[in-house]
């Protein structure tokens, strides 16, 4: 059995989860799962504004979830935490399974109601 996590460590864990609790940041991470991208590419692929993407990329970089490198005037970002993709995949699978169960239950209820008029 593992020892309990100290509160200070829980705060760090909560900070990582906070980074994942924003739709724009998730869209950016999804984009970066395909590989390293320039800020302009992230803006285009996510459909978000330049200032918004730059703000979120800065937060993601400060949290250690993404890394950055500068090449001339361009800045390129990449996933820097190997667990991000695995964690997103686990959560997506859970959401997908929840949706399937919900659809199954509602379909069963519809069958019980019989044909519609």
Mean pLDDT of 94-109: 92
State the sign of the Cα–Cα–Cα–Cα dihedral 44, 46, 49, 51.
negative
pLDDT given for residue 115 in this prediction: 81
Mean pLDDT of 2-22: 88
Where in the chain are the domains?
7-113
Q: Please give the share of the chain, as a percent, with pLDDT higher than 90.
A: 64
Assign domain 7-113 to its CATH architecture. Orthogonal Bundle (1.10)
Q: Specify whether the backbone of 35 is left (phi greater than 0), alpha (psi in -120 to 50) or beta.
A: left
Question: What is the reported pTM?
Answer: 0.81
pLDDT given for residue 1 in this prediction: 53
Q: Which of 51, 48, 61, 54 is nearest to 19 (CA)?
A: 61
Could you report the per-residue pLDDT of 49-78, keeping only the tens digit for each? 999 999 999 999 999 999 999 999 999 999
């Amino acid at each position: 059995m593992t020892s309990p996590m100290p509160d200070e460590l829980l705060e760090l864990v909560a900070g990582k989860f906070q980074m994942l609790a924003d739709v724009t940041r998730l869209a950016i991470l999804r984009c970066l799962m395909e590989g390293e991208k320039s800020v302009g590419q992230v803006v285009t692929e996510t459909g978000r504004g330049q200032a918004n993407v730059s703000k979120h990329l800065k937060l993601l970089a400060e949290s250690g979830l993404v890394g950055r490198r500068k090449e001339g005037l361009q800045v390129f970002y990449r996933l820097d935490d190997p667990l991000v993709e695995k964690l997103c995949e686990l959560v997506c699978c859970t959401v997908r399974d929840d949706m399937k169960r919900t659809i199954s239950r509602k379909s069963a209820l519809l069958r019980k109601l019989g044909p519609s008029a």
